[in-house]
Amino acid sequence: MTAGQRDATTLEIEGREVRVSHPDKLVFAVPGLTKLDLVEYYLAVADGALRGAGGRPMVLKRFVKGIDKEAFFQKRAPESRPPWIETATLHYASGTSAEEVVVTDAAALAWVVNLGCIDLNPHPVRSWDLDHPDELRIDLDPMPGVDWSQIVDVAFVARDVLDDCGLVGWPKTSGSRGVHINVRIEPRWSYPEVRRAAETLAREVENRAPGLASAHWWKEERGASVFVDFNQNAKDRTVASAYSIRAVPDARVSTPLTWDEVRDRRPEEFTVTTVLERFAERGDLARGIDDEVGSLDALLALAERLGPAEKPPAEAKGEGGSPGRRQSRMPLIEIARAKTKPEALAGLEAWRTRHPEVASHLEPTDVLVDGMRGSSSLWYRIRVNLQHVPEDIRPAQAPLEVDYDPWAGRR
């Protein structure tokens, strides 16, 4: 703590006291936003933020070392918490369970931000019904080199599919490069059924926009497309909700849009500063979402007509029944596994330096950078697809440039 900074301040929020530690700590250097600024932002947009995240169990994504360091994911609610912080116990397919925080009011919002949560990552279920999602989540994730206009085109195709199935989509910027479309649904389908509906929507979007959109699970098979990421509807997945600040230097915000805005507005326009002004003037543009609750019957009927989908990844069995690895149809080699993204990218650059001729043939979509969920934080894997490299100069798989084991000591 530098000279002149306060150790803590206490806010009274709707009759509850919330202690904010180190309120003057600079979190976003470029716009000059402190920890207290982030708390005050969430209080100002609480009506919208709670519409997206309220009443839902939440994974705490904590940036305790700053936005330029990897966050760690905390499923279990801290034992030391105010008595008014609600929780819900989620049970996972692995057999584990976690008592997770449920944000219900503005004071709880301020409390999780004080823990270092910059964005909000709720599950698609309410705390009173943990087995039946009430939200279908469509994540339009562009491959490298894909521009905004293509993302927009795919978003409107997704809207058409939703319309044809009697569903209403509410778009928002992801706060990064993509677009999210949220759909309120009746809480009467299981997680596998909701995921199947989402996968069906993705397949239909790809059918209607071939080359622009992809429902291919395997990243190396998507090409220069927008991936309609249906797996965000799996039971263990969470997505940054509306009005979440994202951990990028300009303090960008995942912002609800009207469909009239989707084509003309850009993600970089929506930051903490501009969203505060927008919210004060227009309120939450997604305020009608809870009035448009729909059925998955039409999407699930479409799933029957489309037939079986591509199988999700599963461990193959090698000789003797030991776990094997899927054999990709693409000529892939792995370059790096690293604890942080900069370390992984440094490994990629070292590999490019050693193989300049090979690197000259690579397209943007041939470099596959994956954020992989570890036990409590992300780690990064980089693979290269050699599909555009002449076969006679394709290098074989070699020792990794960076060889980090995220599971060391945890097996």
Q: What is the pLDDT of residues 215-238, one digit of tens each?
A: 988 888 888 899 999 999 999 899
Position 407 scores a pLDDT of: 76
**Mean pLDDT, the chain, integer:** 90
pLDDT tens string 83-118: 999 999 998 877 889 999 999 999 999 999 999 999
pLDDT of amino acid 410? 62
Pick from 104-118, 160-174, 177-191, 336-350: least confident: 336-350
pLDDT confidence of residue 200: 97
Q: Does residue 194 lie within any of the structural domains?
A: no
pLDDT at 2 over 60: no
> Has residue 58 got a pLDDT over 90?
yes
Tokens found for residue 112: 């999780």
Report for 2-6, 290-294, 355-359: range of highest mean pLDDT: 290-294
- Is 97 a domain residue? no
Domain interval for residue 368:
330-403
> What is the pLDDT, as a whole number, of residue 322?
38
User: Is 185 part of any domain?
Assistant: no
pTM: 0.86
Total number of domains constituting the chain = 1
In this prediction, residue 409 has a pLDDT band, given cuts at 50, 70 and 90, of low
The model's confidence at residue 324, banded by pLDDT at 50, 70 and 90, is very low
Is 85 inside any structural domain?
no
Q: What pLDDT, on the 0 to 100 scale, is given for residue 318? A: 35
Among residues 122, 115, 123, 105, the alpha carbon closest in space to that of 38 is found at: 115
Please report the sign of the dihedral spanned by the C-alpha atoms of residue 347, residue 379, residue 28, residue 261.
Answer: positive
What are the tens digits of pLDDT across the range 265-298? 999 999 999 999 999 999 999 999 999 999 999 9
